[in-house]
Structure 1
Amino acid sequence: MNILKCLLLAGVVQLTALSSAFAAGDLAGIKSAGVIKIGTEGTYAPFTYHDALGKLTGFDVEIGEAIAKRIGVKPEFVEGKWDGLIAGLDADRYNAVINEVAITDARKAKYDFSTPYIASHAALIVRSDNTSIKSFDDLKGKKSANTLTSNFGKIAKDHGAEVVGVQGFNESIDLLTSGRVDATVNDSLSFLDFKKHKPDAKVKIAAISDSADSEYSGVIIPKGNPQLLAAIDKALADIKADGTYKQISQKYFGRDVSK
C-alpha cells in the first residue's frame, strides 16, 4: 500500500511539473515569472546585433523591450542562429521570436503571428542624377544589379531588365554608383539603413513596388496562446499610438517603417 501511495504521489508531482512548464509559456505564466523570453539572432544589423561595447541592441531588440514594458514584465533575450531560431519555440527555449520573421502561410500553419510591426518593400534604386528611370517599367532594356535567385532579381527581369549578378546589397550599390549598371531592385529597409550610415551617397529610390511584392514581419509565438497574442498585439498598438514606435523607427531608419 505504501508503494502504491508513493507511485501515485510521484505521478501527481510529475503532472504538476509538466503543467507548470506549460503554463510558464502563457501570459499568466509570463506575468507570474515577471519575464518574457525572446529569441533573436544578435547578428543581423540593424535589427538585432551587438554594439561596440558588446551590448545587444537593434530595432527588433528595442521593439521587444517596448512590448515587454507594456505587458508589465522584463525582456530576456536568448540568442541563436537563424536556422534553429523558430524551432526554439517548439523546444520552449523562449516565449516569442522577434527577428524580422516574415509572415507566411507555411509558418502560420504551425505558429501564431502578431499584427505586422514592420514592412519591407521592393525599391527601385538609381543614381541621384538619373532622370530617365522613374518607374519599374522604365527598367526595360536597362541593367539591374541583383542576386540571381532573389525575388528582387525576378522583379527586375519581369520588367525587362538585364540582371547583372551580385553577391548582395553592397555590391549592387557599388556597381550602381560606378555606373556599371543603371539600377538595382532591392530591399527598402536595407536602403534606409544604408542611407542612415551614408547620407551623402549619390543614390535614391525612384519607385516602390505595390503591396504584392511587400514583406511583412511579426512577432511569432507557439499556437494555443491567445491571451499572449492579444497582449502582444495590444502592446504593439499602444507603442504606435504613443509615439514610441515612431521614435525607434526614426532612430534606425530615419522614417516610419510600419507601413
Structure 2
Amino acid sequence: MTARTTRPLPPVDGSPRPSARRRLAAVGALAVAGSLLLTACGDQTDGGGEEGGGDTKAKESAAPLFDKLPQRIQDAGVIKVGSDIAYAPVEFYDENDEIAGIDPDLAEALEKQLGVEFEFGNGTFDGLITGLNSGRHDIIMSAMTDTKQRQEGLDDKGEKVGEGVDFVDYFRAGSSILVKKGNPEGIKSLEDLCGETVALQRGTANEELAEAQSEKCDKPIEILAFDKDTEALLQVKQGRAVADINDYPVAAYNAKTSGGGNDFEVVGDQIDAAPYGIAVGKEDTQLRDAIKAAVDAIIDNGEYQKVLEKWEVTNAAVEEATINGGK
C-alpha cells in the first residue's frame, strides 16, 4: 500500500522514538478558542443586538464544517487520533521529534475545515482498533487499509474477534516488495518469496498477503512479524530476511532515503492496490460523516493535492472520499 530527503528515515536499528504528541496547526485551535470566547460573551447579552446575534454565529462559523461535528468533539476542541508513528512517509517522527508525514499534513488541512485540533497519540498498529473502540482514540489515521474484515471485526478465519469500524477512504495504494540494494537473491515477485524468510509489520494487510502467498507455495514462506516496520527493515538490512513486504509509498520512501539510497530497492509491480481509511467507531456516524465532508472539502480546495505533491505520492490520490469502500 503508500519523500523527502529532508525528512530522515526513522532509525532501522530498532531504537525507540518518544511517544510525544504533537498538537497540529494552531490555526484550528485559535479559531475554536476565539469562537468559544465570543460565544461566552454573547451569552451575557440578550442576543437581540448585533453583538449578541453575531456572537452566536461566530461559534457556528469558526470553521466551515464545525457544526457537523458531534457536540462532545465541539466541546473538547480536539479529535484524538490513534496512530503508529513509525511509518515514513505516512507518519513518523522527524529530526526534531515532531510528527511529520502525509497523514499529519492532511490532518492539518482537515483542522481548517472542522475547527478542532487533531491530536496524534502513538500506539502499536495492531492495538489501534481496540483503542478506538475503548474510547482512547476518536479516529485512527495510520495507513490503515480498509477491509471488510476490519469493518466487521473479523479475524483471518472470519471469526468475530471484536467490534468493527467504519472507514472514510482518502488514499489508495498497494503493497511492494523491498529488498537489499542490488537484489542479491533475485526477488522479482511474491512467487520468488516461497521458501524464503520475509519480514513485515504485524497486523497489517501485508502480513495477510504474505500468509496467502505462503499457502500457495510448495515450500512455505517463513514470516517474521514485528510491532514496528522499522524492526522488519532491520532484518532485511542485516540479511536475516530477503525482503520486507510494505505499503508502496513506505517502500519507495525507504528505498530513496535509507543509507542515502544505498540500503534498499523496490522490486516488481505494486500489488493489490486498496484504500487507506480513516477509521471511526461504528456508532460514531456523525463524526464519520463530518470527516468525510472535510476530506471532500480539502480535495475540492486543492489542499489535498498539495500534500500529496509534497510527499510525491500523487498517484495514490482519490477523487472523493468514500465510506467503507474496502473489500
TM-score by length of 2: 0.53
Describe the SS at the equivalent of 2:96. Answer: coil
Residues paired across the two proteins, number: 226
2:233 to 169, 192, 200: 169
Q: What is aligned with 1:117? A: 170
Check whether the contact 1:196–1:253 (CA below 8 A) recurs between aligned residues: no
Identical aligned pairs, as a percentage? 17
Check whether the contact 2:73–2:79 (CA below 8 A) recurs between aligned residues: no
**Structure 1 letter corresponding to 2:249:** L
Describe the SS at the equivalent of 2:267. Answer: strand
Deviation at 1:69, TM superposition (A): 1.6
Structure 2 residues without counterparts, runs of 5 or longer: 1-67, 153-162, 226-231, 319-327
Pairing of 1:1-259 with structure 2 (within 5 A)? 27-29=69-71, 32-33=74-75, 35-41=77-83, 43-46=85-88, 47-71=90-114, 73-82=115-124, 85-109=128-152, 110-125=163-178, 135-136=189-190, 139=192, 144-147=196-199, 150-154=207-211, 157=214, 158=216, 163=221, 168-175=232-239, 181=242, 185-198=245-258, 199-201=261-263, 203-211=265-273, 214=274, 216-252=275-311, 254-258=313-317
1:56-94: CA deviation from partner (whole Å, max 9, x where unpaired)? 3332222222222222x1314152533654344445445
Distance across 1 between alignment mates of 2:98 and 2:283: 33
Larger Rg: 1
Distance across 1 between alignment mates of 2:239 and 2:91: 28
Distance across 2 between alignment mates of 1:96 and 1:226: 12
Taking structure 1 as reference, are residues 206 and 90 closer, same or farther at Cα in structure 2, changes over 3 Å only? closer
Deviation at 1:191, TM superposition (A): 0.8
Check whether the contact 1:147–1:153 (CA below 8 A) recurs between aligned residues: no
Taking structure 1 as reference, are residues 27 and 116 closer, same or farther at Cα in structure 2, changes over 3 Å only? same
Taking structure 1 as reference, are residues 172 and 231 closer, same or farther at Cα in structure 2, changes over 3 Å only? same
Distance across 2 between alignment mates of 1:100 and 1:174: 26
1:185-244: CA deviation from partner (whole Å, max 9, x where unpaired)? 443233122024144556233222235xx5x33112223343432221122223334443
Q: What is aligned with 1:20? A: none
Taking structure 1 as reference, are residues 202 and 105 closer, same or farther at Cα in structure 2, changes over 3 Å only? closer
Describe the SS at the equivalent of 1:147. Answer: strand
Distance across 2 between alignment mates of 1:28 and 1:125: 42
Check whether the contact 2:168–2:279 (CA below 8 A) recurs between aligned residues: no
Structure 1 residues without counterparts, runs of 5 or longer: 1-25
Check whether the contact 2:80–2:119 (CA below 8 A) recurs between aligned residues: yes
Deviation at 1:30, TM superposition (A): 5.8
TM-score by length of 1: 0.64
Check whether the contact 1:36–1:75 (CA below 8 A) recurs between aligned residues: yes
